């Protein structure tokens, strides 16, 4: 018996979707998983016969009785994902776990019509890995029937860098495109915003544009201090953050800096229970709390965050969920 995991290629190296899948697959390989490589492309160029041949190539290493963890979605259109799983189901005694990274009908209002189709797709899984309990509750309401569930809790952010201990600085770090997170273009608060993005924001006195950084340089810059901000002023994105997992959250924590998040985020309990940062209702409250925090209290947050960061830097959240998933696939209880 072999254990396989899918992994996408062909997107931009800056794509969070690609980075997330590549990171999971890298960790899985340390557990002796075999990779099933999937190239990102426009499937409309394939006839049904060509798509079938393409899938045969991807699944060439799969045999009867194997286990497969399918990272969902592949971003190659629902049709590709459905045909992929259909072909897997043709193998005898193959068991499949779906690892949900994103749920398309929840990401965009224009995709709501896909919900029934997506739920029917998920219901083919023997085990489902979901980002959070809040996501599970939402999917159950939509008709999810899979009994065996693994909760992810947090993305990992691998690094072997020797990062410095962050210093208390009254500024917020934010990773995100100001075209999507428009609050960065309207930043008029007392404390600076250090913005990491390919696209520059509107000129604001308190916004310090850092540009795009490689993963290693990003962690080194973040580790200089301050706070990591997880935020959106877009109601649609804000609702999605209540059920999905933020990759930038893990990046901040892996750098060793505490975070500022909006109340209701899916990771809120982990942040509060492990004293990893501030949970606030709005940015005004965030600024007030950051400015008024004592050096002693900040150092306490740093201490908790640096300890927690070891989990993320070494891939322990992903290792835990992958091992738990294998147990769920093989055990009857």
* 30 annotated as ligand-binding: no
Predicted local distance difference test score (pLDDT) of residue 282: 97
Predicted local distance difference test score (pLDDT) of residue 333: 86
pLDDT, one tens digit per residue, over 19-52 is 999 999 999 999 999 999 999 999 999 999 999 9
- The radius of gyration of the chain from alpha carbons, rounded to an integer in Å, stands at 21
With a CB cutoff of 8 Å and minimum separation 6, the contacts of 225 are 166, 167, 168, 169, 257
pLDDT bracket for residue 204 (50, 70, 90): confident
* 246 annotated as ligand-binding: yes
3-state secondary structure 145-210: CCCEEEECCCCCCCCCCCCCCCEEEEEEEEECCCCCCHHHHHCCCCCCEEEECCCCCCCCCCEEEC
* 247 annotated as ligand-binding: yes
* 269 annotated as ligand-binding: no
Q: 30, 39, 38: which is closest to 3 by C-alpha?
A: 30
* 291 annotated as ligand-binding: no
Predicted local distance difference test score (pLDDT) of residue 218: 98
* 249 annotated as ligand-binding: yes
Mean pLDDT over 87-92 rounds to 97
Q: What percent of the chain has pLDDT over 90?
A: 96
* 251 annotated as ligand-binding: yes
pLDDT, one tens digit per residue, over 306-326 is 999 999 999 999 999 999 999
pLDDT bracket for residue 203 (50, 70, 90): confident
Mean pLDDT over 68-89 rounds to 97
| C-beta atoms surrounding 295 within 10 Å | 9
Give this prediction's pTM: 0.95
What is the distance between the alpha carbons of residues 219 and 255, in angstroms, rounded to a whole number? 5
Instruction: Please name each of the domains of the chain with its CATH number.
Output: 3-154+315-330 (3.40.50.2000), 167-313 (3.40.50.2000)
Is residue 320 classed as helix, strand or coil in its secondary structure? helix
* 79 annotated as ligand-binding: no
Helix %, strand %, coil % for the chain, to 5?
A: 45, 20, 40
pLDDT above 90 for 263: yes
Contact 35, 29 (CB under 8 A): yes
pLDDT above 90 for 205: no
Helix extents (H) in 1-77: 16-29, 48-58
- Round the average pLDDT of the chain to a whole number and report it: 96
């Amino acid at each position: 018996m072999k254990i396989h995991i899918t992994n996408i290629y062909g997107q931009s190296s800056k794509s969070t979707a690609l980075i997330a899948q590549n990171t999971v697959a890298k960790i899985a390989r340390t557990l002796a998983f075999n990779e099933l490589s999937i190239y990102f492309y426009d499937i409309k160029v394939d006839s049904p016969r060509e798509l079938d041949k393409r899938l045969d190539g991807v699944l060439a290493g799969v045999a009867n009785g194997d286990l497969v963890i399918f990272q969902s979605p592949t971003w190659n259109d629902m049709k590709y994902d459905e045909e992929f799983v259909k072909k897997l189901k043709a193998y005898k005694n193959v068991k499949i776990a779906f690892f949900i990274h994103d749920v398309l009908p929840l990401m965009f209002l224009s995709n709501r019509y896909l919900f029934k189709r997506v739920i029917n797709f998920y219901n083919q899984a023997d085990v489902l890995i979901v980002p959070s309990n809040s996501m599970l509750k939402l999917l159950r309401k939509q008709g999810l029937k899979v009994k065996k569930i693994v909760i992810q809790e947090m993305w990992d952010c691998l690094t072997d860098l020797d990062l410095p201990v962050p210093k208390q600085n009254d500024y917020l770090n934010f990773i995100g495109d100001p075209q999507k997170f428009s609050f960065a273009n309207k930043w008029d608060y007392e404390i600076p915003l250090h913005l990491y993005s390919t696209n520059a924001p509107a000129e604001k006195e308190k916004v310090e544009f850092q540009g795009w950084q490689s993963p290693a340089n990003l962690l080194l810059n973040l580790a200089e201090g301050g706070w990591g901000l997880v935020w959106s002023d877009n109601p649609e994105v804000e609702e999605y953050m209540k059920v999905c997992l933020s990759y930038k959250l893990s990046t901040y924590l892996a750098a060793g800096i505490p975070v500022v998040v909006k109340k209701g985020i899916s990771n809120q309990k982990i942040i509060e229970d492990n004293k990893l940062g501030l949970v606030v209702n709005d940015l005004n409250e965030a600024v007030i709390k950051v400015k008024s925090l004592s050096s002693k209290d900040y150092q306490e947050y740093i201490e908790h965050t640096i300890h927690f960061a070891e989990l993320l830097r070494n891939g322990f959240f992903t290792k835990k969920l992958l091992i738990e998933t294998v147990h769920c696939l093989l055990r009857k209880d």
